[in-house]
Structures are given as C-alpha cells and as structure tokens.
Structure 1
C-alpha cells in the first residue's frame, strides 16, 4: 500500500502534475485551433473530442520543443531528481545540464513527450474523478444527479453507487503509481549520459588524473629533492661539526637556503592545487635556476661541475631540463653521498637538448649512500617528463662505479606538447 500511497508515490504524483503543467500551453494552442476550425463538430461529446484531438495534435509540438530546446534537459533532470522518487544509483545517472548533441536532444524529446502526456492523463483523471465520485455518493439525496447520463446505471442502487465512487477515486491513484513507476525506470535511459557524454566524462577524468600525476611529480621533484638534500647536508654537518666548523657552517647555510626554496616550491604547487592559476603548465623554475641549485650542493660539500647552454631554450623544455637535473643531483646525493663528484652537462645540439648528470663513487665526508625521501620514484618521473616532450632517457651504471643519467629532449617538445612556447621569454 505504501508503494501506491506513500511519500514516494505522492512525490511522483506532483512530478506528473508538473508534466501536465508543461503540456498545458501546447494543448491550449491546439484546442484553440480546433475550436476556431470547428474540427470536432457539435453535440454533448464535443468538449471531450476537442480535448482528445487537442492532445493528439499537441504531442508533435511537445516532441519538437524537446528536440529544439536543449535547456529542457536541465529542467527535466532537476525535476525528476527531486520528485521522481529515483533510487540513488539512478538519480546519479540523470544529467541536469543542457543537452549537447542531437543524440541527447532526441532522448530529451522522448522523455519530455512521455512526461507531458502521462502527466496530462493523470492530471485529467485527478481533476475529474473526485467530483464524479462525490456525485455518485450524493445520488440518494440529490435527484438531479440521476439525470446525468453516466450516473444512470447507479440510480436507485446504493451499493453500485458506493462501489463506483471508490473505483473512480482509485483510478487516478493507480494511474499515478503506474505512470510514476514507468517514468522512474525511463529516467536513467532517457536523461542519463549518452555515449558521447560518457566519452567526454572519461576524457575529463583522464585529464584530471594526468594533472594530479603532474602535480605529484612537481611535489616529488621539488620537495622530495629538498628533503633529501637537507638530510645529506645535515648528516655531513654533524659528521665534521667538531673537526671542521667552517664546513659545518656552510652546510647549515645550505640547509637554510634549501628549506627556503622548498617552502617556495611547496607554496607554488599548493597554489596550483587550489586552482589559483588558470590551467596550463606549472610556472616552475627553468635552467636559469640550475646555478643556484648547484651552489647549494657545493655549500654542503658536494663536488659539482656544471656546464649549461649559452642561449635561452623554450620554456617548457627549460623547465623539464631543470627538473631532470634536480632529480639527477638528488639521486647522486641519496645513493652516492655528498662526497661523490658530480658532473652536470646541458647542451643544445642538432635540434635537441642533451641533459646528462653523472656521479662517481662516493668519497670524503658524507659519502655514505643514503635512501632519502621519495627514493624509487625519481626515474619513472624523469621518464614521464621526457615522454611528454617526445624525448628519450638512458640511466644506469657508467662502468667506473658511478651512475649516469642521460636525457635527450627535442627543442620543439614544448610545441608538440601544446604549450606553443619557443624561447626563454615566452615569445611564440
């Protein structure tokens, strides 16, 4: 009984009345045309014929409105979510934005037509049945009712009158239950996502995942490198604190600079996560920041030789090259220690940028290999950065007990990746 008279059924009845309200302008137009053209003739049955013929003529107009007005999916989707009594899983499928593309418009047109027609029928029954039932119940005390043609079979028969009144009251209730159940089943199919909607949603999810992976790489490369460097620098300073205070002071200064740089990088990436900047590439440091990075490494006692190109590089390539150098230096610190000699070379040649970071075996203070924060994720990140620009990566032992990381990036990699940047100043 609750399925027919409960809260969900009452909400669905209101939803069907909304469909009748949406149908009304169309039926008023068609019935006016019918009356003006006298298409239904005259006689006792003329009003009913006018309404039925008007409904039949209104259906194509309703379907056309659903096809030509994309905003109707917004109206219908919001209404059925609120009043349709849908299961949560079905409600989640219903779209509430304007229909995009003809497949979605055709589905909206079918839904709008079914909703309006069923709503009109239920509304008509809801308006006509209660007065008719009341008339049957009043027959014994109101003789005028007996002169109505439809009430004649119940004249003088109280049992028939009561049964007929109950039946008339039940008609709109059953109609509303059946129509509401049908609409609830049709809603996910007709107002749910089309194949094009599903493809667009999948593309948006893929874009979000790619952005999240990119930001995770930024955090790993920036903050992870800084924490690794601070760990090595602090260990080196502690080792020689008593025997070489000057070196320890330099290491502590390098820790301070590294931490300050890490805070700035963290603030930049968190700003991207908060969407404080509009899309596009993360505006991170480029090769112009490599000398500062190398200086901090040297202050901690690392022996770093660095060679950089004279001219500017495309912004996207310059940023990725900086991150690759940063990761290479971080790997050298983590796995060979601060005492290992490191050579950094970045050169533009034959339409490519060659980035090479080579470290020898550790020696001297702080040379013990360590596995700092983020270990094990750096090389996959380097490969992802190179792949975004169409580059290639080589990494492995160099044969002398050290390690070599070599990356080649095409100079037009930023253009291939959609950034459109050509030089270090961002000019196309």
Structure 2
C-alpha cells in the first residue's frame, strides 16, 4: 500500500518537479532575466507618468506599468534576424523540442521575424511572471509553514494577510504554505508547456525556410552525385582494366607451358601505367572535394583529363579499340568542360565494355561539328554469334582474356552516370542493343560562339 502511494505521489509530482519540468523552469527564469533590461527601461518611461519620486519604489502600479511597457520593447528588439537562432538553441536545450520542428538560421523573411518577435515576447513575459513568483512565494511559503511554531512571527506577520492573525487559521498555515509551493510549480509547468507547444508554431520553419532548406539539400545532393560520378568513372575504369590485365597475365603464368612472357610484361606495364594515371585522376577528384569545402581552394576538376588524353586512355584500357575521328577534338575546338565530360563518358563506356564483354573489340567514333560533339561506341553483345566459317576474325590489339571481367558489386551506375553528364551539359545519351552489338550514343551541344561552356551543377 505504501509503495502504491509513493508511486502515485511520484506520478503526480513528476510533471511539476521532474527533470523536464526543472529544465523548462530554468528556461522561464532565463526569460525573466532577459526581461530585466526592458523592465528597467520601462520604469524610466512609466515612472515620470506616475510619480517622479517613486520611480524605483515598490509601487505595484509602477511595477506592472513597467512590465506593460517592457513587452513592446522586447518585441521590437526581437525583430533582428539573429534572435531566432538564439531562441531556437535555448528552446531545444531546455524545452525538449524535437530537432526537426524548429527552424535553423536567422529569420530573414518578414513572417519569420514577426513569429520570432511573438515567441520572444511570450518567453520574457511569462518568464518575468514566473521569476517574480519564484522569488516571492518560497519565502512566504516557508514563513507560513513555521508560523505555528513562532509566536514572534505570528505577532509581526511580516506583511502576511490579516486573516493569518486569527487563532483558528494558524494551524492551517503550513498547509497553505505547501499549497502555495504546489501552485508555483503548477504555474511554471503550465507556462512551460504552453511555450513548448507554441515553439514549433512560432520558431518553426516558414515556407521560405523550407524552400531554402530544399535548395541546400538539392545542392548537397548534386555535389555528392558529382563526386560519385568522378570516382566511379576514374577509379572504376582503372580497376576494371587492371583486373582484366592481371587476369590475362595470371592465366598465362598458370599455364603448363607459358610461351608469351612478353605479353605478361606488357600487361604488368599496363597495370603500372593505369594505376599511376588513376592516382593523378584521384587527386583531381579530391581537389574537387576540397573546392566544394573551400570556395577559395584550387579547383581540382579543372585539371582533369580531356579529349587530348584520349590516346593514352585507349592505349592501356585493356580492350582493343578502333577509333575514328571526324573534326578536331582538341580543347581548342571543344570547350574544356565539354571535353572533360566527353573523356569521362568514353572512359565509362570502355568500363562497361570491359565488365560485360571482356576483351571484345570496341569501335569508337568521335564527330565534332560547329554545333555538337557526338560520341558513339559499339561492342559485341555477350554470347553473340561467332563469325561465319571461313571468315577471319578481327585481330585484337591485345591478347584476349578467356573469361570476362566480373561486374563489381554495387555497380550499375555507369549508364546512369553517362546520362547525367550528358543532361548536365544540355545533351542526351542513348544506350541499348542494336542487333548483335551494344551501342552507346551521346550528343553534347557546343556554344554557338565557340566560347566557354560551364556545366550546370
């Protein structure tokens, strides 16, 4: 029975004096402290209107008049944008408000500043009342609780109401003192609960705040996608080529009578050159990351490979490539952003051919006109019919690999990345089977005046 009574009492007192209630009470006391400068200024304003000699007296008229004058002053000062992040930080820390329900950053719009002013005025207004009660009621309650034990206190009454001078009321004074403390806790809890309920309304994000947050998320997502494309195209292609060359060299070394040691030497040389080139490209991607973190940093993406480096890519890509070019593909004719993206598109197309077709030959055609840059790649589909009997098969540039490269787990972003790169430049990409071949076709527009073209990030 006693345990049940204790649990019931704890359940009743927890909303009034529990951990959350104490934190919210502290929030109210903070509001009372913030009200003090405005209240003092209010006494200066209201004092001469009442009585110049009683500006700092204990007159209730002066105190409540200064309180009424302080609230508009507090509301006016809360119109500054910096007030909202300070109020949000205090509300989150002391009122237990959920993270996503309050706005971040200064109040920029008129509606946001008006809401912040309303919240700040309510905070300091209720905080001033609860702070005053917290200063006055506890000593009064203690005096009531010891009133039956002190005859001197009963005779002086120290400003107590006249009713406590009657003898029959004295035994009830301790109960009145306890009830006054409970009333103080209840008023503080009710005021804090009101603030906690209104915080998401007055300090929550406005439609303009939500729009700005959505734009920030979109920009962050665009940066992450850009870095993912760069890493996928550079490192992914290098790993596919290295895996292809290493597998071919291992098969020759594992054979009973290895005959073509020269190919093994060439494969190891290709692996060395591919990894060295990839380290440089990785530095470029990391430079891009540093540029996103620091706008003043040197942009790593601007130093990435362009179409001028296409021969080096094709020479050690691990797959025989037949290249045909129409027009000048150098950066003098192609803007640098387009040239970099075109290099990455070719690199990703070769990676797809390596992953799905092994050492099957690839045909690459690059056509440049005054209006657009066209890239098309073709390679046989896996399992395509062999050449007719009596017809010689095309001679590969490098030794064929018996087993195609296994697709890496988590792959599949290749064609999507190609399409994203083309779309960012205002072009388009198409990919799919074309008879016995797999065909990738990309068209990138060029500026009419031959000037620079920036990708839309």
Moved more, 320-329 or 246-255: 246-255
2:455 corresponding residue in structure 1: 417
1:366 corresponding residue in structure 2: 400
2:130 corresponding residue in structure 1: 122
Matched, 1:47 2:82: no
Unaligned runs of 5+ in 2: 1-12, 385-392
* Distance across 1 between alignment mates of 2:264 and 2:235: 23
Moved more, 100-109 or 281-290: 281-290
* Distance across 1 between alignment mates of 2:118 and 2:354: 66
Q: Give the one of 92, 106, 121 matched to 1:81.
A: 92
How far did 1:416 drift?
Answer: 6.2
3-state SS, counterpart of residue 346 of structure 2 = helix
> Contact between 1:335 and 1:369, CA under 8 Å: does it hold in 2?
no
Matched, 1:329 2:350: yes
How far did 1:194 drift?
Answer: 2.0
3-state SS, counterpart of residue 161 of structure 2 = helix
Q: Give the one of 413, 428, 431 matched to 1:395.
A: 431
How far did 1:386 drift?
Answer: 0.7
Unaligned runs of 5+ in 1: 420-428
2:415 corresponding residue in structure 1: 379
Moved more, 152-161 or 114-123: 152-161
How far did 1:151 drift?
Answer: 1.8
1:22-171 paired onto structure 2 within 5 Å: 22-38=34-50, 47-67=59-79, 69-84=80-95, 86=96, 90-95=98-103, 97-136=105-144, 137-138=146-147, 140-142=151-153, 145-146=156-157, 148=159, 151-157=161-167, 158-171=170-183
1:303-322 paired onto structure 2 within 5 Å: 303-307=321-325, 309-310=329-330, 311-322=332-343
* Distance across 2 between alignment mates of 1:52 and 1:409: 73
Moved more, 160-169 or 2-11: 160-169
Q: CA RMSD in A?
A: 3.0
3-state SS, counterpart of residue 31 of structure 2 = helix
* Distance across 2 between alignment mates of 1:396 and 1:151: 93
> Contact between 1:235 and 1:366, CA under 8 Å: does it hold in 2?
no
With over 3 angstroms needed to count, the CA separation of the structure-2 counterparts of 1:170 and 1:338, relative to structure 1, is closer
1:424 corresponding residue in structure 2: none
* Distance across 2 between alignment mates of 1:244 and 1:214: 42
1:407 corresponding residue in structure 2: 442
* Distance across 2 between alignment mates of 1:98 and 1:76: 10
Instruction: Give TM-score, length-normalised by structure 1.
Output: 0.84
2:10 corresponding residue in structure 1: none
Matched, 1:244 2:282: no
Matched, 1:343 2:379: no
For this pair of structures, how many residues does the alignment match? Answer: 408
* Distance across 1 between alignment mates of 2:69 and 2:413: 68
> Contact between 1:40 and 1:46, CA under 8 Å: does it hold in 2?
no
How far did 1:325 drift?
Answer: 1.1
1:195 corresponding residue in structure 2: 207
How far did 1:91 drift?
Answer: 4.2
> Contact between 2:307 and 2:329, CA under 8 Å: does it hold in 1?
no
